[in-house]
Chain A
Amino acid sequence: MKRAADLLALSWLVIIVGLAVFAPLIAPANPYHPIAEPLLSPREHFPLGTDGLGFDLWSRLLYGCRISPGASMLAALLTLSLGSLLGFAAAVSGGLIDRLISAVINAALSVPALLLAMLLVAGFGPGLTTVILAIGLGGAPAFARVVRTLSLQLMEKEYVYAAEALGGSRLHIAIRHLLPNAAGHIVSLATTHYAWAFMGVTTLTFLGLAGDPSLPDWGAILNNGRAFLIEAPWLVLAPGLAITLTILAIHRIGASFTEPKLPARIR
Chain B
Amino acid sequence: MTQKIFKPLIILFCALILYACSGSKEANSIVYGLTLAPSGIDPHLNASAELGIPLSSVYDTLVFQDPASGEFVPGLAERWTISDDALTYTFYLRHDVTFHDGTPFNAEAVIANVEYTTNPDHHSFKAALMLGPLASVDKLDEYSVVFRLDEPYAPLLDALSQVYLGMASPLALETWGPSEYQFHQVGSGPYRFVEYVPNDHLTITRYDDYQWAPSIYDQEKASIDTIVFRFYEDSATRALALESGEVDVIGEVPHLDAARLDSGEDFELHPIAIPGQPLQFMFNTQRAPTDDVRVRQALIAAVDRPEIVATIFGAYSPVANAPLTAVTKGYTADSPFPDYDPERAVDLLDTAGWRDDDGDGIRSREDEPLQIQIVAPSWGLNSEVAQLLRAAWEKVGATVELEIAPGFGPLNEAQAAGEYHLIGINLFDSDPDLLRPFYTSDGFYNWSGFTDAELDGLLTQAAQATLDTELRWGLYAAAATRIRDQALLIPIRDYVNLVVTNNRLQGLHFSAQGWFPLLIDLKLAP
In the complex, whether A213 has a CB less than 8 A from a CB of chain B is yes
**Cα(A230)–Cα(B237), bound, Å:** 12
Closest B residue to A32 by beta carbon equals: B391
Residues of B within 8 A of A39 (CB): 256
In the complex, whether B225 has a CB less than 8 A from a CB of chain A is no
Q: Report whether A53 and B384 are in contact in the complex, using a CB–CB cutoff of 8 Å.
A: yes
A-B pairs under 8 A by CB, number: 47
**Cα(A126)–Cα(B406), bound, Å:** 10
In the complex, whether B432 has a CB less than 8 A from a CB of chain A is no
Q: Report whether A212 and B311 are in contact in the complex, using a CB–CB cutoff of 8 Å.
A: no
Q: Report whether B256 and A53 are in contact in the complex, using a CB–CB cutoff of 8 Å.
A: no
Q: Report whether A34 and B404 are in contact in the complex, using a CB–CB cutoff of 8 Å.
A: no
In the complex, whether B36 has a CB less than 8 A from a CB of chain A is no
Q: Report whether B394 and A33 are in contact in the complex, using a CB–CB cutoff of 8 Å.
A: yes
Q: Report whether A214 and B387 are in contact in the complex, using a CB–CB cutoff of 8 Å.
A: yes
Q: Report whether B390 and A32 are in contact in the complex, using a CB–CB cutoff of 8 Å.
A: yes
In the complex, whether B236 has a CB less than 8 A from a CB of chain A is yes
Q: Report whether A226 and B236 are in contact in the complex, using a CB–CB cutoff of 8 Å.
A: yes
Q: Report whether A38 and B404 are in contact in the complex, using a CB–CB cutoff of 8 Å.
A: no
In the complex, whether A42 has a CB less than 8 A from a CB of chain B is no
**Cα(A34)–Cα(B389), bound, Å:** 10
Q: Report whether A212 and B404 are in contact in the complex, using a CB–CB cutoff of 8 Å.
A: yes
In the complex, whether B395 has a CB less than 8 A from a CB of chain A is yes
Chain A residues bordering chain B, tally (CB within 8 A): 21
Q: Knowing A211-B404, A230-B260, A231-B260, say if A52 contacts B384 (CB, 8 Å).
A: yes
Closest B residue to A38 by beta carbon equals: B311
What is the distance, in angstroms, from A21's C-beta to the closest C-beta of chain B? 23
For chain B, residues 233 to 250, give those with C-beta under 8 angstroms from any C-beta of chain A: 235-236
Residues of B within 8 A of A206 (CB): none
**Cα(A52)–Cα(B313), bound, Å:** 10
Residues of A within 8 A of B391 (CB): 30, 32-34
Q: Report whether B404 and A213 are in contact in the complex, using a CB–CB cutoff of 8 Å.
A: yes
Residues of A within 8 A of B402 (CB): 212, 214
Q: Report whether B256 and A231 are in contact in the complex, using a CB–CB cutoff of 8 Å.
A: yes
Residues of B within 8 A of A7 (CB): none
Residues of A within 8 A of B235 (CB): 227
**Cα(A126)–Cα(B405), bound, Å:** 11
What is the distance, in angstroms, from A97's C-beta to the closest C-beta of chain B? 42
Chain B residues bordering chain A, tally (CB within 8 A): 20
**Cα(A138)–Cα(B384), bound, Å:** 32
Residues of A within 8 A of B312 (CB): 52-53
**Cα(A170)–Cα(B503), bound, Å:** 78
**Cα(A52)–Cα(B387), bound, Å:** 12
| Per-position binary interface string of chain A over residues 212-237, scored 1 when its CB falls under 8 Å from any chain B CB and 0 otherwise | 11100000000000111111000000
In the complex, whether B254 has a CB less than 8 A from a CB of chain A is yes
In the complex, whether A54 has a CB less than 8 A from a CB of chain B is yes
Residues of B within 8 A of A53 (CB): 311-312, 384, 387-388
| Per-position binary interface string of chain A over residues 180-217, scored 1 when its CB falls under 8 Å from any chain B CB and 0 otherwise | 00000000000000000000000000000001111000
Residues of A within 8 A of B395 (CB): 33
Closest B residue to A33 by beta carbon equals: B391
**Cα(A226)–Cα(B237), bound, Å:** 9
For chain A, residues 131 to 184, give those with C-beta under 8 angstroms from any C-beta of chain B: none
Residues of A within 8 A of B260 (CB): 230-231
**Cα(A227)–Cα(B255), bound, Å:** 10
Residues of B within 8 A of A32 (CB): 387, 390-391, 394
Residues of B within 8 A of A34 (CB): 311, 388, 391
What is the distance, in angstroms, from A55's C-beta to the closest C-beta of chain B? 8
For chain B, residues 378 to 419, give those with C-beta under 8 angstroms from any C-beta of chain A: 378, 383-384, 387-388, 390-391, 394-395, 402, 404, 406
Residues of B within 8 A of A126 (CB): 406
Q: Report whether B256 and A228 are in contact in the complex, using a CB–CB cutoff of 8 Å.
A: yes
Residues of B within 8 A of A230 (CB): 257, 260
**Cα(A12)–Cα(B254), bound, Å:** 37
What is the distance, in angstroms, from A147's C-beta to the closest C-beta of chain B? 37
What is the distance, in angstroms, from A56's C-beta to the closest C-beta of chain B? 12
Residues of B within 8 A of A212 (CB): 402, 404
**Cα(A38)–Cα(B308), bound, Å:** 10
For chain A, residues 47 to 86, give those with C-beta under 8 angstroms from any C-beta of chain B: 52-54
**Cα(A33)–Cα(B400), bound, Å:** 12
Residues of B within 8 A of A30 (CB): 391
For chain A, residues 13 to 62, give those with C-beta under 8 angstroms from any C-beta of chain B: 30, 32-34, 37-39, 52-54
A-B residue pairs in contact (CB < 8 Å), sample of 29: A30-B391, A32-B390, A33-B395, A34-B311, A34-B388, A37-B311, A38-B311, A52-B384, A53-B312, A53-B384, A53-B387, A53-B388, A54-B311, A126-B406, A211-B404, A212-B402, A213-B378, A213-B387, A213-B404, A214-B383, A214-B402, A226-B236, A227-B235, A227-B236, A227-B254, A227-B256, A228-B256, A229-B236, A230-B257
- The chain B residues found within 8 Å of chain A, CB to CB, are 235-236, 254, 256-257, 260, 311-312, 378, 383-384, 387-388, 390-391, 394-395, 402, 404, 406
The 7 A-B pairs with the shortest beta carbon distances in the complex, nearest first, are A33-B391, A227-B236, A226-B236, A214-B387, A38-B311, A231-B256, A213-B383
Q: A53-B311, A213-B404, A231-B256 are in contact. List 14 more A-B contacts (CB 8 A).
A: A32-B390, A33-B391, A37-B311, A52-B311, A53-B387, A126-B406, A212-B402, A212-B404, A214-B383, A214-B402, A227-B235, A228-B256, A230-B257, A231-B260
